[in-house]
Amino acid sequence: MKRNGLPLALLAVLVLGALPLVASLPIWITLTVAGLAMGMMIFMMASGLTLVFGLMDVMNFAHGVFISVGAYAAASVLLALKGQAQAPGLAANLLAIGPAVLAAMALAAALGWFFERVIIRPVYGDHLRQILVTMGGLIVVEQLIIVIWGPDLIPLPRPAALTGSFIFGDAAIERYRVLAVAVGLALFGAMWLLLNRTRIGLLVRAGVENAEMVEALGYRIRRLFVGVFVAGSALAGLGGAMWAMYQESVNVQMGMQVLVMIFIVVIIGGLGSVSGCFVGALLVGLMANYTGFLAPKLALGSNILLMVLVLLWRPRGLYPVAK
């Protein structure tokens, strides 16, 4: 088997290995779809961060607030367009979901641009200061969220067309999870095409490996840095919007709550690797759901164990980027 196929085989082993442990096909199907949906949403939130890590060598601990801000922006729009969001029929719902997602991505992108320009640019190449200033920025933005939206959890009813489940035999699959899987696959496909079939993608892949050499070929890598940072922030905003609808609520801490899993995914996948991030996110999502059912107390610990095992197997992640 080719070396690149092994992480996919690991995914298959996890999925098939869970079946006898769960011991019920309908529950296994439900858990698997739930795990894939969760993995896709984590991928949306993590894909930008892995490129920022790989390309810019920046440790951005504030990535969680891009998720929170995206979630709050989406919630504000969905609550303001409650009539459309709760109307029966997908078309009417899309009139609320579309603007909500666009608002989430736009606000997170704008915040990302501000962060890159004001907070991160002065500390390129200095990891310790990056951690300190991004943590500081995170605290400031969290407080701003409290000032604007208040400290309390805001309930967010899911758009009507996305509630309920598809029933296959004895298995129930939530509609929203199917949507999350579809959006995640579409995003991965789009990113793959962008990275592998366009000149900008070629530059990003080369920049992740050796930014200095890209400059020596005559390209202004700083502009690429800003573009990737803003795009990564927008994707975090998209992930935040999806996560908010999944949780049916938003709160200030939600970005930070998923950030641990995002870091695990980025490390498991290999810093800078979008394919690795995708497979890593699916592994983490599936592992969280299977262990959440089989041994709930081990749910978070299981992902840390997964990370340890993957790093023992491949110390630079599932799909390490050549440096």
Partner 1 sequence: MLSLAGVNTHIGQYHILQGVDFEVPRGSLTMLLGRNGAGKTTCLRTIMGMWRASAGRVLCGASEIQDMKTPEIARLGIAYVPENMGIFAGLTVRENMLLAARGGAPDEKRLAWIFGLFPALEKFWQTAAGNLSGGQKQMLAIARAIVEPRKLLLVDEPTKGLAPAIIGNMIEAFRELKRTDTTILVVEQNFHFAQSLGDAVAVMDSGRIVHRGRMDALAADSALQAKLLGLSLEAHP
Which residues would be at the binding site for partner 1 (CB under 8 A)? 199, 202-203, 205-206, 209-210, 212-221, 321-322
Q: How far is the CB of 276 from partner 1 (least distance, A)?
A: 12
- CB-nearer residue toward partner 1: 34 or 203: 203
CB 71 within 8 A of CB 154: no
**How far is the C-alpha of 196 from the C-alpha of 209, rounded, in Å?**
15
The DSSP annotation for 277-303 comes to HHHHHHHHHHHHHHHHHH-GGGHHHHH
**Residue number, 24 or 210, with CB nearest to partner 1:** 210
- Report, in Å, the least distance between residue 201 CB and partner 1: 10
- In angstroms, the Cα distances linking 287 to 106, 214, 298 are 32, 38, 10
Question: What is the nearest approach in angstroms of partner 1 to the Cβ of residue 98?
Answer: 36
The continuous run of DSSP H or E covering 173 comes out as: strand 171-174
Of 115 and 319, which has the nearer Cβ to partner 1? Answer: 319
CB of 273 to partner 1, least distance (A): 9
Whether residue 69 contacts residue 108, with contact meaning beta carbons closer than 8 Å, is answered with yes
Write the CA distances from 235 to 108, 270, 275, integer angstroms. Answer: 8, 19, 16
| Min separation Cβ 213 and partner 1, Å | 4
CB 266 within 8 A of CB 258: no
Q: Considering beta carbons, is residue 56 or 214 the nearer one to partner 1?
A: 214
Cα distance between residue 159 and residue 173, in whole Å:
17
Nearest approach in angstroms of CB 216 to partner 1 is 5
| Residue closer to partner 1 (CB basis): 82 or 323 | 323
Task: Yes or no: say if 288 and 299 are a contact pair by the CB < 8 Å rule.
Answer: yes
Biggest alpha carbon distance in the chain? 60
Nearer to partner 1, 199 or 297 (CB): 199
